[in-house]
Amino acid sequence: MSERSKDKGLGEHVQALYNAMYQVVRRIPSGRVITYGQLAELAGRPGAARAAGAAMRAVPPELGLPWQRVLGKRSKGQGQVNIHDPIGGAVQRQLLEAEGVVFSASGGVSLRDYGWMPLS
């Protein structure tokens, strides 16, 4: 367990879950996105979308993870920036747009066009 994790009071099982999620996030290619639910499933914890959100909020900056590529699910086939902080949400959107992700007029992202699913 890292010193940072100990400082935050994360148990070893929580840190192991977060690390599994961080491994998935490292694999998301530029210009592609996944939802929190997909992240949880790919990390071996289907149904743990809220835990995926918590993991993304706890990302240590020094890891350099492409956290911006993880979105909330808006509707079937649509993702959205799900940061309740308007500044953080704007940063996430700018980072994704710089990677070529296009947002609809209502702020959605087509998972069909920009979604990522690993082959293995």
Residue 6: per-residue pLDDT: 45
Does any domain span residue 24?
Answer: yes
pLDDT per residue, tens digit, the chain (120 aa), is: 344 444 456 688 888 999 999 999 999 999 999 999 999 999 999 999 999 999 999 999 999 999 999 999 988 899 999 877 889 899 999 999 999 999 999 999 999 999 998 876
pTM, full prediction: 0.86
Does any domain span residue 65?
Answer: no
Does any domain span residue 64?
Answer: no
For the beta carbon of residue 102, count every other beta carbon within 10 angstroms: 12
| Domain count within the chain | 1
| Average of per-residue pLDDT values in the chain | 89
Residue 7: per-residue pLDDT: 45
Residue 76: give the domain boundaries. 10-59+70-114
